[in-house]
Structure 1
Amino acid sequence: MASRLPFSSDRLFTIIFIVGLCVSATTASAGSSPPIGRFSLHEKNGRPCFLLDLSATCHVQYEKTDGTPATVSYPVPTYSQATGYCATEQYDPHASSIQLHFGDPFPTRGFNGTFALILNFQRDAPVMTHFWLNEVVSVHTLSPELFPDAKFPNKYVNTYSFGTYLSTSAFQSPRSYLCKRDKLFLLDQYVSEPPTNVTIHYIHVQPFEVQREGRFSQTEECPQDFLSTEEPPSTTTGPYTTDTPVIPVGHFVLHDDKGQACLLANFGAMFRVEYELTQGISRNATYVLPENCTLSGSCEEKIVHVTLSFDTAFNLSASFSSDGKAFKLVSLSVGYVRSSDHFPDAMYPDTSSIEELSNLTLMETDAGKSYLCKEPEVIKIGSNVTLEVLELQIQPFGVKNGSFGEANECNKDNSSTIAPPPTNASFTIVPASSLLPTNRTHTTVMPTLPPPVGPTEPLQGNYTVYDSEGKVCLLADMGLQFRINYTQQNGQIATGVVNVPVDSEVSGKCSESHTSLTLAFYDGTFNLTVSFALHEKDGDSNTYQWKGIYLLFVEVPSIFPGTQQANKPRLISNTSLDLLTTSAGKSYKCNADENVTVTKDMAILVRRVHVQPFGVESGQFSASEECAQDSNGPVDEIAIIVVGVVLFIVALCIAVIGVVGKRREKRMYIPLPSLLD
């Protein structure tokens, strides 16, 4: 009688699983995506905290015994076991992770399983309204059943990749992320193993702030889902597209503080911005300066700044200087956001950039005259922007009666064109009268960027944040000034000074234990968020504090002259501050200046602060707790006065006693003969 070989249930499970993977892999290779699995994580109380719908395929490369490479592809099964963790205040409020284990009857063993796919997510701090996939990890064992003739059978391997993937935009309420287009991840960073690639065919994910009902919140869909399947236009004929845009020639007027016209301009402008595509090639976005753009700026005796903003995401800025005898254009900048409308399929969607030219000497014109140039002028700004200006007439100084002065026409052979116009570019010029009334004017508002002069004192702004029900949840009256260290082109460390404008765009977020205030200013070039936290002791909320600061900005040369990182984005943050400690239910008030070192590269001046981030009743400040500087100041002054008065009285008493004593001496020691006389 033949003996039976031992056969464990674990072994049977593994064989069945491997067969299933092979069948699934064959199906996937036939061109169809694997089915979508639904996974979730829950808190200890059963409430869902992580939602994921996923269809993905792993492509594992391995080395065979003969030294040749091979690849095995298998899908992530819909029955995978999901483990991981959600963002918590106790652990990490900014990170969450989901680990999909499959091919192992004991998934609780974690990375010791046969296969696993791990997706780690992060969100911004301290506002926590924007999240992204920052790490993808593949775990597998080179089992002979699935990896035939492997040189290292049953070897445990994990590969991973870091980055900013599947990124959402910043919103003030919870969002989920959806993408139906294939996304390939190359997992070969910092490991000596052959690379593993993961293709995500479909993903709908919400790793933070899941609703109690366990449903996805409002969805933000990836830009790729809105693109056609056609290939992008070829750029082999040149760096420009062959579109034929209509360029309106507008008439713009800038007024000074007295309401008088201080700058006149007629011109049309077209922008060509080169950007990278997700396919690894470049394309040009082409758009024009619209007739309904917003004019802002400032006029001074020797310098004029003007900015034209449009579509909430684009601007054109120029600065002119004058020595009283003539004026000239000294700087130009173009700011833009890579929106899906204007920058389809961008590799870095919804990111912003500013390109700038400084130290220019263009359009030189005698004082009291205007500069006129009918010929198109093409200017290359930075590395990616080409600006075409046409039908230009401008006068930034000496405007009288709201009319242009005598025209100083440009010399076609000596024009200010500093980049050759594209040979295949064409456009249509539309007269201003067909779009705009000739008397169109604009009111003067705050300039897009502060002028490059010495810093002024910060003004006290009044900022209010509302909760989801429209009630006031944060009040803040304060002046803010930043002193930011930066590196100049000569390697020296310099300091840029920035005052937060009182008309900054205000937003924020409120919860029971965390509140934030966000101020965006200079057309989004600066974005500041300060966060407050409520601290509990023995179950009671005792105090709150200013805990975090998060400043995202661009090193524009007008604020950071000579910077080594011109127009590059920069982030400075500190989430472990301990400022403005106040009893719960009260507001914090301090008239004295408070200077705070945020990091080694940034300090902040807080002036005349009155803030309440929790417990705001009826939209009004509660009773205030004064800072030590304010409460000690009057006491010290009184003490000095009292001590001075006491010392004066003591000195006066000593003087009186001295005088009286001397008189007694004289009476006691009168010479005897004089008494006998």
Structure 2
Amino acid sequence: MRQNPRGHALSAAAALLGFLAMAHAVSFEVNDQNSTCIKAELSVNFSITYPTANGTNTVIVPLPDSAAVGNGSSCGNSGLSPQLQVSFGEGHSLGLVFSSDGHIYQVANLSVTYNLSDNQTFPQSSSKDILTLATNTSGISAQINTTYRCLSSTSVHLGGPKVQSSVAFFNIRLEAYMPSSNLSTNESVCPADLPVSTIAPTQSPTTTPAPSPSQIPDQGYYNVTNLNGTVCLMASMGLQLSVTYFSKSQNKTLQGIMNLQPNRTSFSGSCESTTATLVLTEDLTNLSFTFELNSTTHRYHLSVLNLSASWLDMTVPVAVSNSTLNYLQATNGSSYMCKSEQILYVTNSFSLKTFGLQVQPFGVNGNKFGKAEECQQDKDSMLIPIIVGAALAGLVLIVLIAYLIGRKRSHAGYQTI
């Protein structure tokens, strides 16, 4: 969690590993007039940081076997979206609200409700409130008539003024908008379960480029706040995605180009002592950046980029990840800036182009970017005019010297005999 004491972080991590080893999926089913619309097998751990009289405390709460389908569950009649509400413990709940465009369904809203007056779950809590945290960035999406499957642990971070929470899903299978009462045998696998490719992208001879957007992407401003509400990560940038996928309409591989639109993009993330994550979501596209800080050199870099996309023309959703990157390097307390266009090669099917980039994931002070460390492209763009100017000055000097020498020789030719 964000800004936790080291002891809490270590104990929380150890507890989480233990629960991952022991917990098993709990089954839920939402019915409407004897017809099943949502079915889910969920294994969930909630990591919750809450206020105490002496600061904060972090607990790991697994979804218990006694969890049940709550009264808020519905198949979405009368214009309402289908939703699964899971109730557990003393007034706690997990909510999944689904949406669909006819091709893809997704968890459009994920929410958790905690009753901080539950002393057994939240010992020494200084608050007795019932708090609800929500996000529209769940990362859970699948094709209609398929089962979403994710065996790996994937976390969603939520935050509020009093409580910070991380919801870790693992070993889950679910389906919404079901045509029958049984989970589909066809599966949409989550990005975390797919093999990771770290090969630099090369243009395949069978790949046909799709038309590129003619305009430069709009500049977006994004930030992440820590537990006390102050900004811990800042980013200003225009982003253009290049994704290779198999097209349903053209029945061949295409290279799709997409500009991320800031006015349609939601953002979230988390800050730790040596890692910081920014998650951007636009419709059916999820993009996450993870930065790492070297505590010895006091320098940070972009180490992980993840993309999941379920564009309408895709035969299957695209999910790619690279955790061995070394981009956007700068010193802690400084920002990294690159006004020039910059291409970040991620995998053989995905690259990201940045425009007017400035980012600072650590050491943010006063909600302002620190001293900028420029990328090599910007340094080169400044160096070229200097070199050209110096070359022109040298040329002028050579011409002047040649003129003076020629004039002196001319005068020497008219000496008196």
Instruction: Indicate the TM-score class for this superposition, using the shorter chain for normalisation.
Output: 0.5 to 0.7
In the TM superposition, 1:134-149 aligns within 5 A as none
CA distance in 1, matches of 2:44, 2:237: 32
- Structure-2 residue corresponding to 1:516: 277
SS at match of 2:295: strand
CA distance in 1, matches of 2:10, 2:212: 58
Given the alignment of the two structures, is residue 598 of structure 1 paired with residue 383 of structure 2, yes or no? no
In the TM superposition, 1:32-431 aligns within 5 A as 47=11, 49-51=13-15, 96=17, 120=21, 166-168=42-44, 174=48, 216-218=59-61, 220=63, 225-226=68-69, 285=75, 287-289=77-79, 313-314=98-99, 335-337=105-107, 351-353=140-142
CA distance in 1, matches of 2:291, 2:216: 25
SS at match of 1:167: strand
- Structure-2 residue corresponding to 1:554: 310
Change (3 A) 1:355 1:598: same
Given the alignment of the two structures, is residue 577 of structure 1 paired with residue 367 of structure 2, yes or no? no
Amino acid in the other structure paired with 2:43: S
In the TM superposition, 1:392-541 aligns within 5 A as 454-455=212-213, 456-488=215-247, 492-503=252-263, 504-522=265-283, 525-537=284-296, 541=297
Amino acid in the other structure paired with 1:662: S
Change (3 A) 1:220 1:552: farther
Given the alignment of the two structures, is residue 637 of structure 1 paired with residue 397 of structure 2, yes or no? no
* Match among 633, 638, 647 for residue 395 of structure 2: 647
CA distance in 1, matches of 2:332, 2:10: 31
Change (3 A) 1:312 1:462: farther
Alpha-carbon distance, 1:222 to partner: 7.1
CA distance in 2, matches of 1:340, 1:532: 25
Is this contact kept in 1: 2:211–2:257, CA < 8 A?
no
Change (3 A) 1:553 1:168: farther
CA distance in 2, matches of 1:492, 1:46: 49
CA distance in 2, matches of 1:340, 1:516: 19
SS at match of 2:254: strand
Alpha-carbon distance, 1:627 to partner: 1.6
Amino acid in the other structure paired with 1:314: S
CA distance in 2, matches of 1:589, 1:46: 34
Change (3 A) 1:223 1:480: farther
Is this contact kept in 1: 2:97–2:109, CA < 8 A?
no
CA distance in 2, matches of 1:339, 1:542: 37
Stretches of structure 1 lacking an aligned partner (at least 5 in a row): 1-42, 52-85, 87-95, 99-118, 122-131, 135-163, 176-211, 229-283, 292-310, 317-331, 342-348, 357-382, 387-451, 558-562, 671-677
CA distance in 2, matches of 1:532, 1:526: 20
SS at match of 1:597: strand
* Match among 359, 362, 381 for residue 614 of structure 1: 362
CA distance in 2, matches of 1:629, 1:521: 29
Decide which moves more: 508-517 or 632-641. Answer: 632-641
- Structure-2 residue corresponding to 1:321: none
Is this contact kept in 1: 2:99–2:108, CA < 8 A?
no
Is this contact kept in 2: 1:465–1:474, CA < 8 A?
yes
Is this contact kept in 1: 2:139–2:286, CA < 8 A?
no
CA distance in 2, matches of 1:222, 1:508: 30
Instruction: From the CA coordinates, give the structure whose radius of gyration is larger.
Output: 1
SS at match of 1:610: strand
Alpha-carbon distance, 1:495 to partner: 0.5
Alpha-carbon distance, 1:165 to partner: 6.8
Alpha-carbon distance, 1:516 to partner: 0.5
SS at match of 2:410: helix
Is this contact kept in 2: 1:339–1:350, CA < 8 A?
no
Question: What TM-score, normalized to structure 1?
Answer: 0.37
Is this contact kept in 2: 1:337–1:353, CA < 8 A?
no
Change (3 A) 1:668 1:222: farther
CA distance in 2, matches of 1:46, 1:554: 36
Change (3 A) 1:48 1:594: closer
Change (3 A) 1:542 1:570: same
Q: Deviations over 1:369-415 (max 9, x none)?
A: xxxxxxxxxxxxxx9789xxxxxxxxxxxxxxxxxxxxxxxxxxxxx
Change (3 A) 1:543 1:652: same
CA distance in 2, matches of 1:648, 1:664: 25
Is this contact kept in 1: 2:305–2:321, CA < 8 A?
yes
SS at match of 2:396: helix
- Structure-2 residue corresponding to 1:544: 300
Is this contact kept in 1: 2:97–2:110, CA < 8 A?
no
Is this contact kept in 2: 1:465–1:507, CA < 8 A?
yes
Is this contact kept in 2: 1:476–1:611, CA < 8 A?
yes
Alpha-carbon distance, 1:518 to partner: 0.8
Aligned length: 286
Stretches of structure 2 lacking an aligned partner (at least 5 in a row): 1-6, 26-39, 50-55, 82-95, 112-137, 146-175, 180-209
Change (3 A) 1:459 1:120: same
SS at match of 1:168: strand
Alpha-carbon distance, 1:574 to partner: 0.8
SS at match of 1:494: strand
CA distance in 2, matches of 1:549, 1:315: 26
Amino acid in the other structure paired with 2:141: S
Change (3 A) 1:133 1:479: farther
SS at match of 1:509: strand
Alpha-carbon distance, 1:351 to partner: 4.1
